[in-house]
Structure formats: structure tokens, C-alpha cells
Amino acid sequence: MKEGPDIATIAALIGDPARANILTALMAGKALTATELAAEAGITPQTASTHLRKLQDGGLIRVLQQGRHRYASLAGDEVAQALEALMGLAAGKGHLRLRTGPRDPELRQARVCYNHLAGDMGVRMYRSMQTRGLFRVNGNGIDLTPAGARFVSDLGIDLDALTRSGSRAPLCRECLDWSARQHHLAGKLGRALFQRFEDTGWAKRVPDTRLVRFSAAGTTAFNDLFH
């Protein structure tokens, strides 16, 4: 008998094209109904419900009942991390969609990766912070240096509150960006930084997409901060 985790079960769940489209849609970090996900996957709502049950049983999504509607979302950060890594692997091996959409260049520029900033701007932010010595490598990955803690605090982010939060996600984590093929910043800090950009009006998500658009003033401020 073979030992270890059964990756075939997870691979089969993700490998179905309709379920892959459903999971990709949920990478925007927003809970969606079966009807909304059916439109994303190009299938009927009844078929979408069947796929959602399989994904829920497999632990990849969670489903919340609210009134007459049931909303699906990814089960957690580790699922989003695995999906982003698979997207990077697919892109690196040349397995790309045959038809690209008008928003593809914008998605490569800035998009949400579940709950943090990805794309060229996300990669640039992380590299800028690395170059300035704001991170250090530890036994579990990366962490903030004292200079990094000061930098983040100066941006108005409460590190103590982040550390005390009930989320099991690490404070800082590298996430392989599928379009740039380099890492961007995830974890609690990645989420908090993106939230800060939204709160200050620098950036906003385009409804019903993963696309993130920065205002002119936000782009200037971002470029000054992460040169």
C-alpha cells in the first residue's frame, strides 16, 4: 500500500475544467452563489451545485447558508496558495488559454490573489521591501526585521493586532505569482497591506473580477513608496 497524502484526490477535484473555473473565480476572495459560479464555469446551476458539493466534500471550499442563498468561498489561504502555484506551473509550461481577453494585460499588472495584491505591482512591492532589508529568512519562511516592523507601522498597520488575530495564516509568506513567475507577498501582512491600499483610496477592485485598478494618485504614491 502506498503511503503519504493522497494527492490524486485533490488533483482530480481541481482537474475538472468546470471545477477549475469555479475555483479560479473564487480566487477573487468573494463568496459567490451557485448561479454566479455556473456563469463563470459555463454550466447550468444544477451542474454547478453538484460540483460545489464535491469541492466541499474534498475540503477545498466552504459553503455558507444565508437566507435563501448558499454562498461558496475557498476553504482557506492554503487552497488559494496551491491554486496560484498551479497557475504559475501551467503558465511556465506553456499551458495557456487559447483565447485571451481584453483584461489580461490589466490582470498581469495588478490583481487580487484571494486576499492580497498580485501581478507586476505585487511583485514590485515585495522586491522593493526585500531590497531595503525589511524581511529576514527564518526556519518557517520569512519574517519582518525591526526595520520592516517600523516601515509597516508607519503605514498605519497594527502589527500587534495582526499577530493576535485568530487566523492560522503566517504573518508573512511568499506566494509564487503566475504571471510574473516571481514571488509576491501573502500572509496576514500581504492582506493588511492590500486592505490599506483600498482604505486610503489608492486602489479598488473591479466588481466581479480579480482585477485591481490603482487611481492616478494611488499609482504615484505606490511608486514613491515601493520604488
pLDDT of residue 227: 84
pLDDT of residue 2: 67
Per DSSP, what are the bridge partners of residue 141? Answer: 138
Q: Are 176 and 84 in contact (CB under 8 A)?
A: yes
pLDDT of residue 178: 82
Looking at residue 67, its amino acid is: G
pLDDT of residue 179: 85
Segments making up each domain of the chain, as ranges: 7-75, 79-225
Q: Give the tens place of pLDDT for each residue, 102-158.
A: 467 888 999 999 899 999 999 999 999 999 999 999 877 899 999 999 999 999 999
pLDDT of residue 100: 52
Please give the CATH number for the structural domain made up of 7-75.
1.10.10.10
pLDDT of residue 123: 96
Per DSSP, what are the bridge partners of residue 65? Answer: 70
Which string of DSSP letters, residue by residue, matches 189-216? HHHHHHHHHHHTTSEEEPTTSSBEEE-H
Q: Which of 177, 171, 174, 203 shows the shortest CA–CA distance to 118?
A: 177
Instruction: Work out the angle between the directed axes of helices 120-131 and 216-225 (0-180°, nearest 10).
Output: 30
pTM of the model: 0.81
pLDDT of residue 203: 97
Q: Are 117 and 194 in contact (CB under 8 A)?
A: yes
Helix, strand, or coil (residue 175): strand
Q: Are 121 and 222 in contact (CB under 8 A)?
A: yes
Give the span between the Cα atoms of 99 and 171, in whole angstroms: 37
pLDDT of residue 168: 76
Nine-digit cell at 116?
A: 492580497
Instruction: Work out the angle between the directed axes of helices 17-26 and 77-92 (0-180°, nearest 10).
Output: 120
N- to C-terminal Cα distance for the chain?
Answer: 54
Helix, strand, or coil (residue 72): strand
pLDDT of residue 71: 94
Q: Are 38 and 22 in contact (CB under 8 A)?
A: no
Helix, strand, or coil (residue 141): strand
Query: Cβ of 170: how many Cβ atoms within 10 Å?
Result: 17
Which stretches of the chain score pLDDT less than 70? 1-2, 97-103, 166
